[in-house]
Amino acid sequence: MRRKILKYPTEPLEVWPERSVSELAEGMLWTGFQGRKLAEAIEVWARMLRKRNIVIWLGLAGALVPAGMRRVISYLIKRRMIDVLVSTGANLYHDAYEAKGKKHYIGTHMTDDVKLRKHKVDRIYDVFADEAGFYKFDNWIEKGFSYGLKDNYPYSSREITFLLGKTLSKVGREKDSILVSAYRKGVPIFCPALNDSALGFSIMFANRKGRRVKVGKTIRYIRKRILIDALKDVEESSRITERAKRTGVVYLGGGVPKNFIQQTAVIASYQTRHDRSHNYAVQITTDSPHWGGLSGGTFEEAQSWGKIHRRAGKVTCFADATIALPIIVHALSEKFKRLRREVPIFEWGKNGELKLSYETMRL
Amino acid sequence: MRRKILKYPTEPLEVWPERSVSELAEGMLWTGFQGRKLAEAIEVWARMLRKRNIVIWLGLAGALVPAGMRRVISYLIKRRMIDVLVSTGANLYHDAYEAKGKKHYIGTHMTDDVKLRKHKVDRIYDVFADEAGFYKFDNWIEKGFSYGLKDNYPYSSREITFLLGKTLSKVGREKDSILVSAYRKGVPIFCPALNDSALGFSIMFANRKGRRVKVGKTIRYIRKRILIDALKDVEESSRITERAKRTGVVYLGGGVPKNFIQQTAVIASYQTRHDRSHNYAVQITTDSPHWGGLSGGTFEEAQSWGKIHRRAGKVTCFADATIALPIIVHALSEKFKRLRREVPIFEWGKNGELKLSYETMRL
Amino acid sequence: MRRKILKYPTEPLEVWPERSVSELAEGMLWTGFQGRKLAEAIEVWARMLRKRNIVIWLGLAGALVPAGMRRVISYLIKRRMIDVLVSTGANLYHDAYEAKGKKHYIGTHMTDDVKLRKHKVDRIYDVFADEAGFYKFDNWIEKGFSYGLKDNYPYSSREITFLLGKTLSKVGREKDSILVSAYRKGVPIFCPALNDSALGFSIMFANRKGRRVKVGKTIRYIRKRILIDALKDVEESSRITERAKRTGVVYLGGGVPKNFIQQTAVIASYQTRHDRSHNYAVQITTDSPHWGGLSGGTFEEAQSWGKIHRRAGKVTCFADATIALPIIVHALSEKFKRLRREVPIFEWGKNGELKLSYETMRL
Amino acid sequence: MRRKILKYPTEPLEVWPERSVSELAEGMLWTGFQGRKLAEAIEVWARMLRKRNIVIWLGLAGALVPAGMRRVISYLIKRRMIDVLVSTGANLYHDAYEAKGKKHYIGTHMTDDVKLRKHKVDRIYDVFADEAGFYKFDNWIEKGFSYGLKDNYPYSSREITFLLGKTLSKVGREKDSILVSAYRKGVPIFCPALNDSALGFSIMFANRKGRRVKVGKTIRYIRKRILIDALKDVEESSRITERAKRTGVVYLGGGVPKNFIQQTAVIASYQTRHDRSHNYAVQITTDSPHWGGLSGGTFEEAQSWGKIHRRAGKVTCFADATIALPIIVHALSEKFKRLRREVPIFEWGKNGELKLSYETMRL
C-alpha cells in the first residue's frame, strides 16, 4: 500500500537553453504545485484533442482580449482546438474593436485615475484605451451594425455574434479576430450576458434612439426593434451537449461563461434522461474554492451536481490566464503540429434546432 | 506637511463584553487594513442613507443565498436601505426555492463528491442541497410559474422577477424572501443573465417541452413562446441612473451584477451628456485588482472610465461577504433604528419607460 | 444515509439591532462559507478554554500590531485565553514602540510613496509611522535595553522578550502592551526569528557599535557580546508540548510562528515516543492551500505529518485577521464573562528546562 | 499629454510552434496583466546581470524544493545569476535530503490525510514524502553532521550552511544541490530562522540528547553545546549591503527571507549614513498587498521605508513560483548563453567581518 502511495518520485526540473515550451511543460509534469497543474492541463486538453466525437467548449471571462490574448484564442479557433466559445460581452467588444483597426495601449496600474479621466483614457489594470475610440466604435455598432439587424426577430446571442463576425470579416484588419475566425470556421459563440457590455448597450441604442430620417421637412426617428431572446441561448447551447457524444470544457476564469457551460450538462441530462456530464475539464482561475462561488469552485464540487463526470479527466490550475494560456497553447501547438480531428459541424435551425455532425479534418 | 500626513493616530482596539456591533465597528475605524475598511464601508453606506434624492443599487453575486444571507438582503429591502437589486440568477433561484419552504443543509467542503452524487446531494462549498427538491422546484417554475407568462411579450428580467415575487407572495412561508420583499416594497430586481441559471432554463423548458394536452384522443404539446428581451434590461436599468439625482452602489462580489450597474453610469452619461457617474461606492470582494478583471477592479480604475465619480465616497473591503455583510447590516440596523429617507418610487411603462419620484418614508 | 447527509438545515441569518457579537456569531453557525467558519472558530477556541490541563499556543504573523490589534492580543493574555505566544519580531517591536508612548497613524494605501520617503514617513499598507520615532526607539533598544543584557550568555528569544517586558513594565503607558502583559502574567513569548526585525538588529548594534567610553583622554568603544541562541528556542518551546497533557493552537497568519508551533508536536512526539500532535486547532489566514506553502496549508495536511491530531477539533477561516480577530475575541469575552481555567504555570531553568504545573484561576 | 499616455500599443500575442521560452517572454512584454509582469521580471533581472559591481540577493520561501525547484535554484547559483541566498530552513532541509539520495513523490492534494498518517506518508500539497526517510535523515543531521560542529562557537547560519554544503559535497548524488553548489561557488546562504525547521531541531537534538558513550561499564551521554548566534546573521548579512556598490533583490515568496534582505538596506543606511536601498527588485508572490503584511507588500510601500530605491527597476508578478520561476530562468538561460559578470567574492572573518571584492567571470 505504502509502496503504491510512494510510487513515482518527483524529478527536479532541469534548465537548458533553447528548450521548447512543450519540453519545458513535460518537465514540469514531474514537479509540484501549480507548475505541475499547468503541465497537467496541457495533458488533459491534449487527451480531448485525441478523442473522437467530442465537442470542446471554451469559457472566456476576465479582460483577456485587452490583455493581448485575442490571437491566442483565434489560434485555438482556427486550429479547431475548441469547438464552441462562451464569452463575456466585453471580450467580444474589445475583439471587434481591434478588428476595426483600433488599439489598446501599454499602461500602468500605478497611476492617477482622475488624471486619466481628464484625458479620457480608460484603464483596465495596466492597459490603457482611448475613450474617444470607444465612443466612435459604439456608434458604429449602433449605426453600422445594428441597423442591419431584423426587427422583432428573436435573436440568440449566437446569431448576433455570427452576424457581427460576418460583418467584420469584410473589414481589412481582421485576421486575428476571435469573431471573424469563429464566423469562418463555423465555431458558435454564445454571449449569454450580451446586455452586460458595451456591445449590448450599443445595440440597445439602435432601439432607443433610432435613426434620424427626414420626411419632407420634418425630422423623424425610426426606431429599431431588435430582440435578443435570452432563452434561445439556453436552448441552443444545451442542444450541443445533448447531441454530443462527449464533451470537454476549458474555462479561462469563471463567471457566466463557466456556469453557462456547466448548466448545459444539467439541462442535457434532464432532457435526455442520461448522464450528460462533461467528460474532460480544465480550468485556469485566480479565484479560490473557499469563497464558495462557482468561479472558484472545484470540479469535485461539480461532480456532486452531475456537471462533471465522476471519472472525468480534470485539472484546475490556479494562475493568471495571461501567464498560463500562452504556455498551454504554445505547448499544444508543438504537440499537434498536425492535428487530425473529427471536428463537430453545427447546423442551426431558426428556432434553435441543431444538427450536429462530425467531419475529419487535418488542421 | 509631515504633521498633516501624521495627523490622526490609530487607536488599538479595546475589548469589552456586550459591545454592540456598531460600537465594535466604530472602534475598528481607528485600526488598519481590512478591519478598518469594513468600518469605512459602514460609514459610506450610512452617508448614502442620509443623502436626499439618491438611488442605491445593490449588486449581488456569489452563492450568498445558499450561504444563508437571504434574510439579510430582504432586511435591506424592507428597510429600504437599497432601492434596486441586480442579482445573479442562482441567488434568486435559491431564494424562491426557500420561499417555497425548501431548505439548504449544513454540509462540509471536506467530502467525497462522487458519493454525494450517488445520493443525489448537490454541494455548494459547505452547504448541501437535495437534488430531488431542485428537480421538483424546477418543475414548478416550468409549469406552475412559466405557464402563466404571456407569449411573445418581450419581458425584461425585472418584469419576470416582479411576477415571480408576486406569485411567491401568495405562498405561505415567504416572509424573508428577497423576491417577495422586493415585490412588496416596489424594489426592482434585475437579473441580466437570467438565462444563466436554473431559473432561466426552467422557464425555457416551458417553451421547449410545452404542456401536454389531450385533444379528443390525441395528445398534443402546447408550447409556450416566452420571450426574455435582454436589451430591455439595459434600457430599463440605465434609465434609473439617468433619472436619479444621485446614485450609490454596493457590490457584494463582482461578476455581471457589478458590471451591469457600473455600465448604467456610462449609458446615462452618453444619453444625458452629463456626468452620471455613481456618487457613492462600496464593494465587498474576495477578488484582487492584479488579475485585471472587473470583479476585483478598484474604484479608482472605475473613475478613469467615468463610472465612479472623481470625488465619490468609496471603499473596497476585501473579505468574504458572509462575514462582512452580517456585520455591516447589523451596524446599519443600530445606527438607523429609525430611518427617514426620501425613498425613490419607480413607475414603469410597458416599453421600459420610467417615472422616478421620491417619497419621504419613516422606515 | 441520505437523511444523515441532509440532517441539519441552514438557517438564514436574521438581523436585529443591539444584538451582541456572540449572538451574531451563534447565528452565523447556521449559515455557510467563511461566515460559518468564523463562528466555528469561536466554538473550537471555546472548547479549548473549557478543557482541563491544556496549553494554548498563539501564533502571530502579519503586521497586526501596527493594524491596531495589540490590545486584543494583550486582552487574550490577561484573561489567559492563550498560554504561550509565538510572534514575528516586527509585532513585538511595534508593541514595544507603542508601550513607550509612540503612535502609529491613520494613513492610506493610495499614496505617493516617494513623497512619503521624502517626509520620512514609513507606510504599512494604510498605516503610517514616523521614521524619526523609529530611529529614536531603535536607539533606546540599543542603548537603553541591550546594554543591560549579559555578555556571552546564550539567551533564548523567550528570555529576551521576558526582559523586554520587564523593562517596559516600568514605563508609564504600558497597560495594553503585549510584552508587558505577558511578563506580568507569566506567558512566555517566543520570537524564533528575532534577528529578522528592528528589535533584532537594534540589539545587534550594541554588539557591533558598542558604547562610547572616555578613558582619560582617549575614547573607546566597549562592545557588548550579546548572544541569542537560536537552538535554545527550539529546546524550550518543544518542552512545552512535551510536558502538556493537551495542546491547542491558534494561528493568526502563517509564517515562522505557525511552523514553529507545529514543529513542537513533531519534536515532542520524537522525544516522548508518543503522539503529541495538537488537539485543537484554529487558523485565520488570507493565504490559500493551493500555493503549497505552510502558511496556507490545511490542518488536514498537518494531520498527515502528525502535527495535528487525527481527531482534533479544527477549523480554518479565510479572512483578514483585522476583521476576524475582533469578532472572535469579543464573542469569547461574552461567552466567558467569568472564566475558570486550569492555567499552565511555566517555570524555566537556565538551560531550557521546564517545570509545567497547572493552577486553577478565575479570570 | 494624451498622446504620451497612449503611446505604445499592446500587441496581441502570436502563437507559433518551436518558439523558445525567451521569445515567448518577449512577446508577452506587449500584452497585459501578470503575463506582462512575468516578462518584465525577466527584463529587470537581465538588467541586474548586465550591471557592474552589483550583489544580487535571492529570497526563497515556500516549499519550492519539495515542488521540484532545486535544480533551477542551483542553476542560478552555478551560473552566478544570484550572489547570496536567504532561505527558509525547510527548503535547505529538503535540498540536503535529496542530496543524500532521498526522494519526494508525486502525490495529490485530494486525499485522505488520516490514511496517509497511518502509512507514515507526509504531504506537502500534492507532493508526498516518506516519514521514515525523514526520520533517518534527521538522525544523520544529528549524528552525522552536528557532532562535527564545534562547541560553544557562535555560528551564524551562513557558517552552518557552508559546513553542511561541504559535508554534502563529499556524498555522491549531490550535483544539483543548492547547498553544495553554493558551497562550491562561494555563494553565502543565510537561514535566519534555522531553528524553525527540521534542520534546526535535528542540530538541537545533538545538544539535548547527546551521544551515548560507554566509559568502562557505565553509559554516559556526551552532550554537544552547539551555538547558533542569531545576531551574527544580521551582522554578516547587513555587511553585504553596506559593502556593495549596488544591490538587486529577487524574492520568491515573502516570509522571513524577504524581510531579512529588505532590512539589510535599512541597517546599511543607518550604518553608512548613505542611502543603501536596493537598486533592482523582482518579486514573485501569491500574496496580495491588501492584507497589509510584508509578504504581499508592494515595492512602492518599500520605497517609503527606504528599502527599495526611489528610482529602482522593480516589478512584482503575482504567480505561483513553480510556474513563474521555470519560465524566468529558462528565458535568462537563453538570453545569457554566455554571461560575463563582475562576480562578487565574499571573504568572511570569524566575527562576521566581510571583505567584498569583484572578479570578472565568464559563466
Long-range contacts, B3-9 (Cβ 8 Å, 24+):
B5/C105, B5/C107, B5/C116, B5/C119, B5/C121, B5/C128, B6/C105, B6/C121, B6/C128, B6/C129, B6/C130, B7/C105, B7/C106, B8/C105, B8/C106, B9/C103, B9/C104, B9/C105, B9/C106
**Dihedral in degrees, nearest 10, Cα atoms C19, C25, C30, C35:** 120
Domain with residues A37-362, CATH architecture: 3-Layer(aba) Sandwich (3.40)
pLDDT at position D171 is: 79
Confidence of residue B173 (pLDDT cuts 50, 70, 90): low
Cα distances from A33 to residues B350, C314, D65, in angstroms, run 55, 24, 11
Clarify whether C214 is annotated catalytic.
no
Interface confidence: ipTM more than 0.85: yes
With bands split at pLDDT 50, 70 and 90, how would you rate the model's confidence at D101?
very high
CA dihedral D242, D248, D252, D256 (to 10 degrees): 10
Within 8 A of B71 by CB-CB distance, chain C residues are 12-15
Q: Cβ of C68 under 8 Å from any chain D Cβ? A: no
Nearest to D357 by CA among D346, B361, A145, A63: D346
Shortest Cα–Cα distance, A344 to chain C (Å):
36
B71-130 pLDDT tens trace: 999 999 999 999 999 999 999 999 999 999 999 999 999 999 999 999 999 999 999 999
Q: How many beta carbons lie within 10 A of that of residue C203, not counting itself?
A: 28
| pLDDT 10s digits, A212-235 | 888 889 988 889 999 999 999 999
D339 has a chain C CB within 8 A of its CB? no
**Which residues, listed in sequence order, are joined to residue D212 by a DSSP beta bridge?**
D221
Domain boundaries, chain C: 2-362
Alpha carbon distance D150, D130 (integer Å): 31
Q: Check if C108 contacts A (Cβ < 8 Å).
A: no
SS3 for D172? coil
What subunits make at least 3 CB pairs under 8 angstroms with A?
B, C, D
Cβ proximity of B220 and B206 under 8 Å: no
Q: Which residue of A has its CA nearest to B200?
A: A231
Q: What is the mean pLDDT of chain D?
A: 96
Distance from B215 to chain A by nearest Cα, in Å? 25
On the question of pLDDT at A49 being above 90, the answer is yes
Tell me, yes or no, if B36 comes closer than 8 A to chain C by beta carbon: yes
Residue numbers in C near B330 (CB within 8 A): 15-17, 19, 24
**A7/chain D closest Cα distance in angstroms:** 7
Partner-chain contact D227 C227, CB within 8 Å = yes
Is the pLDDT score of D172 beyond 70?
no
SS3 C175: coil
Exposure class string for D104-134: b at 16+ Cβ within 10 A, else e: bbbbebebebeebbebbbbbbbbbbbbbebb
**pLDDT > 70? residue C172:** no
pLDDT (0 to 100) of residue C98: 96
Looking at residue D229, what DSSP letter applies? B
CATH superfamily of B20-362: Deoxyhypusine synthase (3.40.910.10)
Better pLDDT: A331 or A363? A331
Q: What share of chain B is helix, strand, coil (3-state, %, to 5)?
A: 45, 25, 30
In tens, the pLDDT along B135-158 reads 999 999 999 999 999 999 999 999
Cβ separation B113–A303 shorter than 8 A: yes
Give the pLDDT mean for B238-256. Answer: 97
Q: Which three cell numbers stand for residue C202?
A: 537594534
What DSSP letter does each residue of D46-69 carry, written as one string?
HHHHHSSSEEEEEEE-SSTTTTT-
Nearby residues of C23 by Cβ (< 8 Å), 6 or more positions away: none
Q: Which of C66, C110, C128 sits opposite B6 (nearest CB)?
A: C128
Stronger pLDDT, D17 or D73, i.e. the higher one: D73
Residues in chain C within 8 Å Cβ distance of B107: 5
Predicted local distance difference test score (pLDDT) of residue D133: 97
Give the tens place of pLDDT for each residue, D298-309.
999 999 999 999
What average pLDDT does chain C have? 96
Residue B298 per-residue DSSP state: -
Stretch 260-319 of chain C: residues touching chain A, C-beta under 8 Å: 288, 290-292, 318
Angle at which helix B198-208 crosses helix A230-243, to 10 degrees, equals 80
Distance CA(A123)–CA(D187), nearest Å, equals: 43
| Chain A contact for D16 (CB, 8 A cutoff) | yes
Contact C1, B119 (CB under 8 A): yes
Asked if CATH classification 3.40.910.10 holds for the domain at D19-362, the reply, yes or no, is yes
**Residue of chain D with shortest Cα separation from B33:** D292
CATH of C2-362, one of 3.40.50.1460, 3.30.70.60, 3.40.910.10, 3.30.70.270: 3.40.910.10
In contact, B65 and B47? CB cutoff 8 Å: no
Asked if A322 has any chain B CB less than 8 Å from its own CB, the reply is yes
Which D positions 198-217 lie with beta carbon below 8 A of chain C? 198, 200-201, 203-205, 207-208
CB-based burial of residue D33 (10 Å sphere; 0-12 exposed, 13-18 middle, 19+ buried)? buried
Is B279:B309 a contact under the CB 8 Å cutoff?
A: yes
Asked if residues B315 and B37 have their Cβ atoms less than 8 Å apart, the reply is yes
What pLDDT band is residue C18 in, cutting at 50, 70 and 90?
Answer: confident
User: Residue B210: what pLDDT?
Assistant: 83
- Set C258, C307, C314, C335: catalytic member: C307
* C-beta of residue B154 within 8 angstroms of C-beta of residue C37: no
Return the pLDDT at B213. 86
- pLDDT for residue B171: 79
- Per-residue pLDDT band at D211 (split at 50, 70, 90): confident
Please give the C-alpha separations between residue C228 and each of B198, B267, C148, C165, C196, in angstroms, as whole numbers. Answer: 63, 65, 14, 17, 12
Model pLDDT, residue C358:
97
Question: Is A130 part of the contact surface with chain B (CB cutoff 8 Å)?
Answer: no
Residue C113 φ/ψ region, left for φ over 0, alpha for ψ in the -120 to 50 degree band, beta for the rest? alpha
Amino acid at A69: M
E runs forming strands in B84-224: 84-87, 105-106, 121-124, 127-130, 154-155, 189-190, 211-215, 218-222
From chain D, the residues in CB contact with A34 under 8 A are: 320, 322-323
Which tens digit of pLDDT belongs to each residue from C215-231?
A: 889 988 889 999 999 99
Name the active-site residue from B232, B307, B314, B335. B307
Any chain D CB within 8 A of the CB of C140? Answer: no
User: Could you report the per-residue pLDDT of B46-68, keeping only the tens digit for each?
Assistant: 999 999 999 999 999 999 999 99
Direct distance between the N- and C-terminal alpha carbons of chain A, in angstroms, rounded to an integer: 45
C-alpha cell at A287: 479565484
Length of chain B: 363
Contact A319 D323 (CB under 8 A): yes
DSSP code per residue over C89-126: HHHHHHHHHHHTT---EE--SSS-HHHHHHTTEEEETT
Question: Are the Cβ atoms of B35 and C10 closer than 8 angstroms?
Answer: no
Instruction: Check B5 against C119: CB less than 8 A apart.
Output: yes
Q: CA-CA distances (angstroms) from residue A348 to A298, A352, A355, A360?
A: 33, 6, 6, 20
pLDDT at C24 over 70: yes
CA dihedral D222, D228, D229, D234 (to 10 degrees): 170
Test mutation, D6, D110, D115, D290, chain B, max B CBs within 10 A = D290
Q: Which residue of C has its CA nearest to A285?
A: C290
- What percent of chain C lies above the pLDDT cut of 90? 92
D40-69: pLDDT as tens digits: 999 999 999 999 999 999 999 999 999 999
Residue C210 has pLDDT above 90, yes or no: no
Question: Do D263 and D249 meet the contact criterion of CB atoms below 8 Å apart?
Answer: no
Largest CA distance in chain B: 91
Q: Are B42 and B35 in contact (CB under 8 A)?
A: no
Whether B114 and chain C come into contact, CB under 8 Å, resolves to no
Would you call A80 an interface residue with chain D, using a CB distance cutoff of 8 Å?
no
Confidence check: pLDDT of B221 > 90: no
| Angle, CA C300 vertex, CA C294 and CA C303 arms, to 5° | 90
D227, C231 Cβ separation under 8 angstroms: yes
Nearest to C318 among B110, B320, B333 (CB): B320
